């Protein structure tokens, strides 16, 4: 039973193949953080939802949940929709500390990695 959980949060799509990269990232995060429970959740069209992923983490004993949006930027969903979802899950799980990270695409290391890929480096 892990006290910490990391929920990788992606948009979702109709094609189930779309989720494969998020699941690959989750496997790598789990390798890097074997002490944490790592899962993937989706905003729409796929399961589990963010609420369901946080519910599962809390039910398994997590007291700290870090939600990491696998988005390129802090766009409309991350400015409006996701904060409302986070507030809902915080209200249902007051014993859990639920942190919302910025979009991964905002991180300088991620920007450099994407630039290196695009440049063929």
* 11 in active site: yes
Crossing angle (nearest 10°) for helices 50-59 and 82-92:
30
Catalytic residue among 2, 4, 11, 29: 11
- CA angle 98/99/101 to nearest 5° reads 150
**CA of 78: how far to CAs of 24, 62, 71, 104, in Å?**
22, 24, 9, 12
CA 4 to chain centre: 13
Query: What are the residue numbers of the active site?
Result: 11
């Amino acid at each position: 039973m892990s006290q910490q959980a990391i929920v990788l949060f992606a948009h979702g799509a109709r094609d189930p193949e779309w989720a494969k990269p998020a699941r690959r990232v989750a496997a790598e995060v789990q390798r890097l953080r074997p002490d944490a429970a790592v899962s993937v959740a989706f905003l729409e069209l796929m399961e589990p939802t963010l609420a369901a992923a946080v519910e599962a983490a809390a039910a398994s004993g997590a007291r700290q949940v870090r939600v990491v949006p696998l988005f390129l930027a802090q766009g409309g969903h991350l400015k409006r929709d996701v904060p409302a979802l986070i507030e809902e899950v915080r209200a249902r799980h007051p014993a859990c500390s639920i942190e919302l990270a910025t979009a991964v695409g905002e991180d300088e290391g991620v920007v450099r990695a994407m630039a290196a890929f695009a440049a063929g480096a």
